[in-house]
Structures are given as C-alpha cells and as structure tokens.
C-alpha cells in the first residue's frame, strides 16, 4: 500500500484550520502537525465539547501544545466560521454527517451540514483570505445511490466551483475522495469485532460478492497533505488503493464463524465506485493517484504534464471490483494487528 508521504515544509509557519478536527482523521492530522511540521497555529474546529476536552487533555503535555487552538463551532454557522478563519492560510474540511442510514432518516440535517456547511465554509474562507481548502469527500459521491453520497457530490461541486469566486486573491479549493478507512469508527472491522465480543455465532454479510476499497488512517492523512501541496484548484484527487472482498475480510477476522448473507441495506452499493466512465474522460493518472480535472475555464489542461500525467482513456472507471490491487491475507493480518 502506497504511503503518499511528501515534504511538508511548505506548511512551516502557516496557520491551518481543521473542521471536524476531533474525528479520526482530524486527530491523526493534529498528531502529524505536532510531530512533523512547524506550524504557527493549528485550529481544531468542531461542535463536540467533550471530544475537544478529551483531545486537549491527551495532548497537553506535548512540547508544541501551545500552537493548538480549540474552537467550538459548527459549519452550519457562517458567523462562527468567519471568526475562526481569521488569519488562517489552509483549511482541511473533514466535518460531515457520514452515516448512510442516519442521513436517510434525517435528510434535512444532512443537507444543512454537508451542503450548506460547504457553502458557508467556501464563502467564509474567501472573505477571510484563506489560500487553500482541501475538502474530504467519499467514494459514495461518485454516481450516488444514497443521500449521504448525493450531499457529498453537491459539496464537491461547491468547492470546485468556488475556485471561480476568489477574484484576484490567491484562493483555491480541491477535493480528496477515498474509500473506507481501515478500522475507523463505524466501519465493518469494529462492527465484526463487537459482534464477536457479544457472543454472536455468525457474522452478517450483506452480499457475498461485495468488495470495498481500503486505506489506513496514516496513509489517508498523507494523501490529504500531499494533495494540499500539489493542488492547483478544482481537482478531485483519488488515491490508488487496494480492494478486498468483505467475505475475505470476515474470514480473516473469525475463520471459524459462519458467514450469513443478509441482503444489501438501503442505499448500499455492491461495489464501490470512485471514478465514473463520464469522469474518466477528464481524468489524469499519476504514479500514486488519479486526478479528475474540472470542466471550467480556470483550469489549465497542461497543469499536470510536468508531473508526467497521462489521460486514462475512453471508458475508464475505477471500481473496487475491477481494481488491479488487492489485499491478501498476510497483508490484512498485518494491518489488523496495527489497529
């Protein structure tokens, strides 16, 4: 699995704000900034005061703790964003309502956070002179089947189009789209482990053919930061990451347990899709990632030629079942031991 590591000296002396900064990715980003970057400030912007308090207590003895700022706020509140974004150079947007079924049953709340929150952040960032935003998306935004995916597609469109709104100021936005984070909250691995701990005599598999893309949280952080470094504005970045069948994953976690097929849930896909055939016409390939270019006049078509990019060709799509890279049993066990 590629690690996507890059030189982060471009962040030295900068101020960075992370929305949803107390989530899994936010915590890893903060850890990276504390240990590997000489930031001026890192602002953790989130709405959960308990998570902020716990994060503050865990980090208070770090020698660079004084660079951290904990800011209670919600991306739904533009005035709060305007206050938090003063003097900020870079924004990493990780705040979202992400549970598929939660979004289906609470559509208004999903739209307020994922769509209107994206608009608020883009507008507030322009007004505060932010240089760059990199927004986290999801594979579910490609040809969306559920409201969560549709809301993130709308969010992606907002950030891509926002590149036209900065006027003469130095402002750009790009999007990062990747698959499941290995062992993250709400993913299938802790779900299976909880069932085993509770004494279940089988593991439920929605469909025995199901496949998923996987990335570790460390590699996800590196991919976000490397994309922040190389972005021109308007791109959607997709990492080259491996796939694995859910049945193979379950068999590795509990080799002696029955796997019981229970049917696909509402809004769930059989295979994950990160680049559609229509997007393939706009997609460039680099050694470690794909880049979907925007259909806007601000985009320079030769922007990635210096990096050796090539077009992927007509009819290309990137799905978890047609992937060239797969996680084998040995690699899975190694990753599992690190959780």
Which segments of the chain have a pLDDT < 70?
186, 301
**pTM beyond 0.85:** yes
Question: Based on C-alpha coordinates, what's the Rg of the chain?
Answer: 20
- Kindly state the greatest CA–CA separation across the chain: 63
Q: Does domain 11-337 have CATH number 3.40.50.1100?
A: no
pLDDT at 167: 83
Q: Tally the residues of the chain.
A: 339
Q: What's residue 308's pLDDT?
A: 82
In this prediction, residue 301 carries a pLDDT of 64
User: In this structure, are residues 75 and 117 in contact, taking their beta carbons and an 8 Å threshold?
Assistant: yes
**β-sheet with 243-245: strand ranges across:** 180-181, 211-215, 243-245
Q: Which residues contact 274 (CB under 8 A, 6 or more apart)?
A: 139, 142, 177, 178, 179, 213, 238, 290, 318, 319
Instruction: Determine the Cα–Cα distance for residues 23 and 27; give it in Å rounded to an integer.
Output: 6
Contact 223, 4 (CB under 8 A): yes
- Residues forming the active site: 140
The total of other beta-carbon atoms located within 10 Å of residue 288's CB is 13
Report the distance separating Cα 2 and Cα 155, nearest Å: 27
Question: Which residues are registered as beta bridge partners of 283?
Answer: 292
Domain segments of the chain: what residues? 11-337
Predicted local distance difference test score (pLDDT) of residue 300: 73
CA distances from 56 to 44, 52, 139, 243, 264 (A): 10, 6, 32, 35, 40
Report the alpha-carbon distance of residue 268 to residue 98 in Å, rounded.
13
Give CA–CA dist 224/92, Å, rounded: 8
Taken in order 135, 138, 141, 145, the sign of the CA dihedral is: negative
Angle at 157 between CA 155 and CA 159, to 5 degrees: 70
């Amino acid at each position: 699995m590629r690690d996507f590591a890059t030189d982060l000296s471009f962040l030295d002396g900068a101020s960075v704000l992370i929305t949803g900064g107390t989530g899994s990715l936010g915590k890893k980003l903060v850890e990276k900034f504390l240990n590997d970057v000489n930031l001026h400030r890192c602002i953790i912007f989130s709405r959960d005061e308990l998570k902020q308090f716990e994060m503050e207590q865990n980090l208070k003895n770090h020698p660079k703790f004084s660079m951290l700022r904990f800011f209670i706020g919600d991306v739904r509140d533009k005035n709060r964003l305007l206050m938090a974004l003063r003097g900020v150079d870079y924004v990493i947007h990780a705040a979202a309502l992400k549970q598929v079924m939660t979004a289906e049953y609470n559509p208004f709340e999903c739209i307020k956070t994922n769509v209107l929150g994206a608009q608020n952040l883009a507008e507030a960032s322009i007004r505060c002179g932010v240089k760059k935003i990199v927004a986290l998306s999801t594979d579910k935004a490609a040809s969306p089947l559920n409201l969560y995916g549709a809301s993130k597609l709308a969010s992606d469109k907002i950030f891509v189009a926002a590149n036209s709104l900065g006027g003469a100021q130095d402002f750009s936005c790009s999007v990062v789209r990747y698959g499941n984070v290995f062992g993250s909250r709400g993913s299938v691995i802790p779900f299976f482990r909880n069932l085993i701990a509770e004494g279940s005599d089988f593991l439920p598999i929605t469909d025995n053919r199901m496949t998923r893309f996987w990335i570790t949280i460390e590699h996800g952080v590196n991919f976000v930061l490397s994309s922040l470094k190389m972005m021109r504005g308007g791109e959607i970045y997709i990492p080259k990451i491996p796939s694995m069948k859910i049945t193979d994953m379950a068999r590795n976690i509990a080799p002696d347990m029955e796997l019981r097929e229970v049917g696909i849930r509402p809004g769930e896909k059989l295979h994950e899709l990160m680049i559609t055939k229509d997007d393939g016409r706009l997609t460039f390939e680099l050694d470690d990632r794909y880049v979907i270019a925007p259909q806007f006049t601000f985009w320079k078509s030769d922007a990635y030629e210096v990096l050796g990019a090539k077009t992927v060709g007509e009819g290309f799509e990137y799905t978890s079942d047609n992937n060239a890279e797969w996680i084998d049993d040995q690699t899975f066990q190694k990753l599992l031991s690190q959780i």
